[in-house]
Amino acid sequence: MHIGLVGLGKMGFNMRARMRSNGLDVTGYDRNQDRSDAASIKEMAAALPSPRTVWVMVPAGEVTTSLISEVAAELSAGDIIIDGGNSKFTDDTKHRDMLAEQNIAFIDVGVSGGVWGRDEGYALMAGGEADDIEAAMPVFDALRPDGARELSFVHAGKTGAGHYAKMVHNGIEYGLMQSFAEGYEILQSKDIIDDVHGTFRAWQNGTVVRSWLLDLLVKALEEDPELSRTSGYVEDSGEGRWTVEEAIEHGIPAPAITAALFARFSSRQDDAPSMKAIAALRHQFGGHAVRPADE
């Protein structure tokens, strides 16, 4: 199978390499011509056999919509566009309907695996029509890890289902990371604990909290035992917020994911106005000591 891939950043570059290593022909396009196989999207599309399949791998938002439109202008009826970025699921219906006017099929795919996916493979969650999913299956099989397909790939449902599943996956990821982070800080603060790194390392086999995230935390602590080279400022890429919004929309309690998201917000405030207000209130009603702002 021969596929086009637009967007050769951290994820797309490695995905191209994995697909090629598993026998697919890939013509990639990126604005960075040092990474690109084609000089333009038009040239990339012309290199593909019909019916053509093009995977778009760029940041979520207007850039994805614009790029899908640009790619579609070079395609024909019967071709397929796959959005493998972290688009919001509500955008997928818009993209599907836009492409349907040209009889171009659309598949949304949530992709998990990060920088390790090139060697380990990617977990894939797809949304769209069954016939289109089946047509693109050689691509999914090339990207996912070896082994039974159902352990790393799912046709999650209708258009938007792939990105919705990935959204919830990332919300869960927020909660898991926050739990490990809080455990790290508690262990680090206790004077009877002499080996924080060793404690986490001892959890890697035989415990109920063993996981890849735990393995990565152990690796991070091996490289920097005090995490002194890392700032405590944490971004959020959108999926955690969207998961919380969906929980609110459906009246579903999601305290762990919500608290993990809010903890990231807190990480960006050196001297939070809200905490100043609480300190001032405690001083007002109880005469509690307030630390001066210059300390």
158, 191, 213 — which closes off a domain?
Answer: 158
User: Both 106 and 231 in a single domain?
Assistant: no
The per-residue pLDDT of the chain, averaged, comes to 93
Neighbours of 37 (CB within 10 A): 17
User: Both 188 and 151 in a single domain?
Assistant: no
Strands, E assignment, 94-133? 105-112, 123-127
Per-residue pLDDT averaged across 263-292, rounded? 78
User: Both 188 and 143 in a single domain?
Assistant: no
Give Dmax (Cα) for the chain: 76
User: Both 71 and 144 in a single domain?
Assistant: yes
94 is catalytic: no
Of 43, 120, 129, 173, the active-site residue reads 173
Predicted pLDDT at 294: 66
User: Both 126 and 211 in a single domain?
Assistant: no
User: Both 154 and 41 in a single domain?
Assistant: yes
Residue ranges making up the domain that contains 80? 2-158
Does residue 286 fall inside a structural domain? no
Strand, coil or helix: 279: helix
Predicted pLDDT at 269: 84
CATH number of the domain at 235, please: 1.10.1040.10
101 is catalytic: no
Q: What are the tens digits of pLDDT across the range 56-73?
A: 999 889 999 999 999 999
User: Both 154 and 21 in a single domain?
Assistant: yes
Residue 285 has pLDDT above 90, yes or no: no
Predicted pLDDT at 276: 76
User: Both 152 and 259 in a single domain?
Assistant: no
Per-residue pLDDT averaged across 92-105, rounded? 97
Q: Which residues pair with 108 in a beta bridge?
A: 83, 127
Does residue 198 fall inside a structural domain? yes
Predicted pLDDT at 277: 74
Residue 281 has pLDDT above 80, yes or no: no
User: Both 153 and 172 in a single domain?
Assistant: no
Per-residue pLDDT averaged across 6-27, rounded? 96
Report the domain count for the chain.
2
Q: Among the listed ranges 148-152, 179-183, 289-293, which one has the minimum average pLDDT value?
A: 289-293
Residue 124 buriedness (CB in 10 A; 0-12 / 13-18 / 19+): buried
User: Both 130 and 199 in a single domain?
Assistant: no
Does residue 279 fall inside a structural domain? no
Per-residue pLDDT averaged across 9-21, rounded? 96
Report which of residues 290 and 241 the model is more confident about: 241
Predicted pLDDT at 282: 74
Which of 128, 199, 208 lies closest to 164, judged by CA? 128
Per-residue pLDDT averaged across 161-188, rounded? 95
Q: What are the tens digits of pLDDT across the range 208-223?
A: 999 999 999 999 999 9
- In this prediction the pTM is 0.92
User: Both 49 and 184 in a single domain?
Assistant: no
Q: What are the tens digits of pLDDT across the range 119-163?
A: 999 999 999 999 999 999 999 999 999 999 999 999 999 999 999
Of 74, 88, 166, 239, the active-site residue reads 166
CATH number of the domain at 13, please: 3.40.50.720
Helix or strand run (H / E) with residue 177: helix 161-189
